[in-house]
């Protein structure tokens, strides 16, 4: 006997055509077994509120965290959990189940489910649905930070991205296990936004554009400061934290690009889904960048030291009472200008950064011409931008300036990555 709530939700969010109601947006939600499974209930509510029908599959482990009854009550539909259920197979075979939606959403996508999907294992209903589906898949990973950072998970992530799987999250924050870091499942609202934006883009080939638009494209990003040795223990450098460049590399990766990040020394962990090459000096950075060519896009975010000590001492310079000799400096190569000026392997789109403290747009415009870049992202570093979490930029392009409101460096990265995707799609 169903409760009143259940019959109400069934009437509003009927899965298929029935009772005269046609529901044209349907998601198959695979709920993995993690603490974040409780958030799947909120996700179902949010999707339903947006008029998207949800049919849910629970893994065996997921049932330890949420009950099929609560999932059924919220989705207004039967919940599937058994690959070998005769009743389910007669009602709807697992193959049909896997294809009966527009989009397959995996939330939480546990390390185990990601591993199964990456290797093509199909030993329960959720993993079988993932293998059998011909529909796009959106995963919301959720796991302990060490599991997320484990080389095996990173390998699986790369494989899944190459296979065209879309991702939302994970977020950084406190975890149920008491640790802090990346691995927390994206909030239900953010997952619902990713789903609606997928539908908003047409829900098919164009839909995949939202998250997979840079698939098959290669991107090169530089980030962080460079460190120019004076002697074995001293160097010239600057305050760049690398945050903006890392965020851009990761955002391009999220859109499906094959990203190489060449970074100077920073405190940051290698971004997820990106090949990271760590260097020290400007000359090493140039060499690593040239090794990464050809690419479709080059985003030059690094705060490269313009000068280096001309003849670094091989042993530590001693303080011997006398004033030290003035440091003779040599000019470093300009990596942006060098790559933008290449005849053969010039990246298709070259984006420079201009950190300015005054006349921001005008100076950036000069840099656009001087460095032969296609776009320059001008940022006002007179405040606490260097090392801070926020950024305020003006996107300077030959056809005009686009000032963006102050936003987090991650949002700047996402927005810039989307602009890059748009531009590369327009000129393949
Ligand atoms: O001339 P300025 O250093 O202000 O130019 C900033 C832009 O040039 C940034 O995109 C930066 O990554 C790049 N740059 C470079 N190599 C240098 C100096 C700057 O790639 N030696």
Q: What is the pLDDT of residues 202-211, one digit of tens each?
A: 443 334 344 5
Condensed to tens digits (0 to 9), the pLDDT of residues 261-305 reads 999 999 998 887 789 999 999 999 999 999 999 999 999 999 999
Atom number of ligand 1 nearest to Cα 339: 20
Binned at pLDDT 50, 70 and 90, residue 415 comes out as: confident
pLDDT of the residue at 4: 30
What structural domains does the chain harbor? 11-210 (3.40.50.1950), 218-308+327-418 (3.40.50.10300)
Q: Which helix (H) or strand (E) holds 90?
A: helix 86-91
Asked about 177 being catalytic, the answer comes back as yes
Look at 326 and 237; give whichever has higher pLDDT: 237
- Provide the terminal-to-terminal Cα distance of the chain, rounded to the nearest Å: 57
pLDDT of the residue at 207: 40
Condensed to tens digits (0 to 9), the pLDDT of residues 366-405 reads 999 999 999 999 988 776 656 666 788 999 999 999 988 8
Binned at pLDDT 50, 70 and 90, residue 232 comes out as: very high
Binned at pLDDT 50, 70 and 90, residue 230 comes out as: very high
Maximum average pLDDT range among 96-100, 124-128, 192-196: 124-128
Residues 6+ apart with CB under 8 A from 117: 106, 127, 130, 131, 137, 139, 156, 160, 165
**Ligand 1 proximity of 378 Cβ (cutoff 6 Å):** no
CA dist 7 and 22 (Å) reads 17
How crowded is residue 92: how many other Cβ atoms within 10 Å of its Cβ? 16
Is the confidence at residue 191, as pLDDT, over 60?
A: yes
Catalytic residue among 16, 152, 176, 177: 177
pLDDT of the residue at 9: 30
pLDDT of the residue at 209: 42
Distance 309 CA to ligand 1 centre (A): 18
Answer yes or no: are the C-beta atoms of 126 and 34 closer than 8 Å. no
Angle at alpha carbon of residue 272, lines to 271 and 275, rounded to 5°: 75
Atom number of ligand 1 nearest to Cα 282: 21
**Which CB contacts under 8 angstroms, 24+ apart, belong to 199-204?**
199/25, 199/52, 199/102, 199/103, 203/25, 203/102, 203/103
Whole-number percent of the chain with pLDDT over 90: 54
Among 305, 371, 376, 380, the mutation site with the greatest number of ligand 1 atoms within 8 A of its Cβ is 371
């Amino acid at each position: 006997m169903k409760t009143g709530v259940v019959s109400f939700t069934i009437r509003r969010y009927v899965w298929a055509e029935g009772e005269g109601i046609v529901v044209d947006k349907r998601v198959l939600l695979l709920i993995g077994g993690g603490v974040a499974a409780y958030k799947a209930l909120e996700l179902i509510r949010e999707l339903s509120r947006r008029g998207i029908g949800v049919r849910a599959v629970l893994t065996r482990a997921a049932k330890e965290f949420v009950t099929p009854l609560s999932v059924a009550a919220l989705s207004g539909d039967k919940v599937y959990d058994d690959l070998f259920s005769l009743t389910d197979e007669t009602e709807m075979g697992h193959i049909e189940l896997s294809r009966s939606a527009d989009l397959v959403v995996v939330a939480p996508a546990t390390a185990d489910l990601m591993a199964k999907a990456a290797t093509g294992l199909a030993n329960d209903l959720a993993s079988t649905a993932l293998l059998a589906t011909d529909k796009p898949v959106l995963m919301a990973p959720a796991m302990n930070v060490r599991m997320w950072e484990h080389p095996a998970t990173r390998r699986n992530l790369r494989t899944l991205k190459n296979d065209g799987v879309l991702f939302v999250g994970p977020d950084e924050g406190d975890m149920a296990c008491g640790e802090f870091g990346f691995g927390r499942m994206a909030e239900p609202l953010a997952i619902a936004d990713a789903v609606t934006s997928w539908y908003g883009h047409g829900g098919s080939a164009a839909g995949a554009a939202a998250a997979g638009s840079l698939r098959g494209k290669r991107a090169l990003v530089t980030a962080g400061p460079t460190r120019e040795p004076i002697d074995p223990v001293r160097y010239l450098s600057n305050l760049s934290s690398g945050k903006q460049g890392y965020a851009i590399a990761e955002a391009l990766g999220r859109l499906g690009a094959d990203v190489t990040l060449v970074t100077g020394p920073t405190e940051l962990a290698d971004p997820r889904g990106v090949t990271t090459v760590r260097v020290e000096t400007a000359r090493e950075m140039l060499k690593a960048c040239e090794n990464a060519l050809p690419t479709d896009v080059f985003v030059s975010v690094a705060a490269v030291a313009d000068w280096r000590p001309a003849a670094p001492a091989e042993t530590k310079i001693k303080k011997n009472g006398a004033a030290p000799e003035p440091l003779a400096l040599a000019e470093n190569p300009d990596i942006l200008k060098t790559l933008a000026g290449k005849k053969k392997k010039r990246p298709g789109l070259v984006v420079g950064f201009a950190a300015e403290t005054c006349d921001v747009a005008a100076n950036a415009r000069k840099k656009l011409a001087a460095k032969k870049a296609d776009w320059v992202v001008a940022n006002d570093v007179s405040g606490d931008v260097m090392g801070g979490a926020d950024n305020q930029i003006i996107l300077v392009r030959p056809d005009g300036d686009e000032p963006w409101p102050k936003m987090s460096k991650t949002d700047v990265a996402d927005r810039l990555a989307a602009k890059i995707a748009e531009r590369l799609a327009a000129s393949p």
